[in-house]
Structure 1
């Protein structure tokens, strides 16, 4: 049928889209212990990342883990300027630094490269605020599930 790929669509029909073309994963980011998901909660650039019940409807819970080691939602990336956070949503700059993260598939951890800290479930004080804490091997609160349900991942032509 000579159908074009989603990548072609993004490059040729909708080039102004903030959708990253090169990513490892696109979908919800679920905590293994709480079963809650990262969520922008509709917040803007400069505001804190949130977490809430995984609703499976996409929207504010869709994140891309890109080949530039960003975790992004629309044009904002997870960003941490300090060792213990907070983790904020900041306009993606593509330069790594405070916005560089590594997802370890085996361990399930999301590590902030600059600080060496791991993304962790919120504590009881603020259940909507994920934390940055020292990595603890095997800690369920620091394990994240990224399993893509999207079938239209932008593939290379």
Structure 2
């Protein structure tokens, strides 16, 4: 199932800190995956679904199944980044995000990726269905969230 057609992607703002960079002040390549993880987490939170509450109340976790990334230009120390998290595929027990990391100052595309996230039971790590309320929120991000 496709999700979010025609809807602007969620954007998470973050800053590049010294800990994110190598000795040359350039963001280490794997840290783009951390920025993307934060954007996905904030995306869920903005829809009214905190991951801590899902783990405790629904006994579910989201785990990364696979990821791919392409790097176009470096981010540097102190850059402000805009990290998108758009659901491009929504299945029974998984969802795929299309994500971009852009520099806020000039909107330059720095990194682009796709991440497949699986929904699993917290106790057994076996696949489980994404709760219906969350599926609806992910498929229709313009509707009121669970927290409203």
User: Fold-level match, TM-score > 0.5?
Assistant: no
Q: TM-score, normalised by structure 2?
A: 0.29
Q: Greater relative contact order: 1 or 2 (C-alpha under 8 angstroms, separation 6 or more)?
A: 2
**Greater fraction helix:** 2
**Greater fraction strand:** 2
Q: TM-score, normalised by structure 1?
A: 0.28
